[in-house]
């Protein structure tokens, strides 16, 4: 399979102190790692694309590690995650789906025992396309305080023959979470849901 050709990496870190309410004792941190890669399948229909998932694993690991580092270096402090992809115009949405396995694998590998499915989204779009990457709790999808999303995008990517790959991690709940539901302290941690 083709090698992974990276044009550009982008790392975004948000430190949120408040949103009009009380100032958080510990600011919420949210980080996104993006990589702009060449889409080896751009411009035509290829039947066999699944092998590229394995090729993406090292890049996924590198991105996941860069997120942990940006968020302070302690794996235990990571509470939410999500992933996404933006496929350039000469590719198809199915090419974005290639990111599900290596992106999820990479974050689980780095975080250890994360149980919940990694929330995800993807689309086809031009340079500057914005993607709202969904975020949920890493061990129990139903934890309501951790439902969140982070908007990402790069002015000059993806070009037609590129894909923007995204991974997102956070250190906690929304800054003023107060709509009830399952709490992080109530997680059973058996099925990845509750």
Among 155, 178, 179, 180, binds other proteins (CB under 8 A): 155
Query: Look-up: residue for tokens 């350039």?
Result: 88
Among 1, 2, 13, 58, binds other proteins (CB under 8 A): 13
Among 50, 51, 58, 151, binds other proteins (CB under 8 A): 151
Give residues 128-147 in contact with other proteins (rule: CB under 8 A): 130
Cα distances from 149 to residues 8, 39, 168, in angstroms, run 23, 26, 9
Query: Look-up: residue for tokens 């975080």?
Result: 111
Length of the chain in terms of residues written: 194
Span of 72-80, 97-105, 152-160, 166-174 interacting with other proteins by CB under 8 A: 152-160
Complex with other proteins: residue 28 or 187, whichever CB lies closer? 28
Residues 6+ apart with CB under 8 A from 192: 115, 116, 117, 139, 140, 141
Span of 43-51, 77-85, 108-116, 150-158 interacting with other proteins by CB under 8 A: 150-158
Smallest separation (angstroms) from other proteins to the CB of 191: 33
Q: Is 58 near other proteins (CB under 8 A)?
A: no
The answer to whether 130 and 152 are in contact (CB under 8 A) is yes
Among 2, 14, 43, 117, binds other proteins (CB under 8 A): 14
- Residue 132 backbone dihedrals phi, psi, to 5 degrees: -90, 100
Complex with other proteins: residue 32 or 116, whichever CB lies closer? 32
Please give the full DSSP string across 10-31, using - where no structure is assigned: EEEEEEE--SSSSPPSS-EEEE
* Torsion sign across C-alpha atoms 59, 64, 65, 69: positive
Span of 15-23, 47-55, 57-65, 84-92 interacting with other proteins by CB under 8 A: 15-23
Interface positions with other proteins (CB under 8 A): 5-20, 130, 151, 153-155
């Amino acid at each position: 399979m083709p090698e992974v050709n990276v044009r550009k990496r982008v790392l975004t870190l948000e430190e949120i102190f408040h949103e009009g309410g009380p100032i958080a004792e510990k600011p919420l941190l949210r980080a996104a790692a993006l990589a702009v890669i060449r889409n080896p399948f751009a411009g035509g229909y290829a039947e066999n694309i699944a092998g590229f998932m394995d090729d993406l694993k090292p890049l996924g690991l590198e991105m996941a590690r860069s997120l942990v580092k940006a968020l302070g270096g302690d794996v235990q402090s990571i509470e939410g995650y999500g992933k996404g992809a933006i496929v350039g115009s000469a590719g198809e949405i199915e090419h974005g789906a290639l990111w599900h396995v290596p992106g999820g694998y990479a974050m689980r590998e780095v975080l250890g025992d994360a149980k919940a499915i990694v929330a995800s989204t993807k689309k086809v779009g031009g340079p500057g396309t914005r993607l709202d990457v969904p975020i949920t709790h890493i061990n129990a999808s139903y934890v309501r305080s951790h439902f969140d999303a982070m908007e990402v995008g790069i002015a000059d990517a993806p070009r037609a023959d590129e894909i923007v790959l995204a991974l997102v991690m956070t250190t906690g709940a929304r800054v003023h979470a107060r709509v009830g539901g399952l709490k992080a302290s109530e997680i059973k941690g058996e099925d990845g849901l509750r």
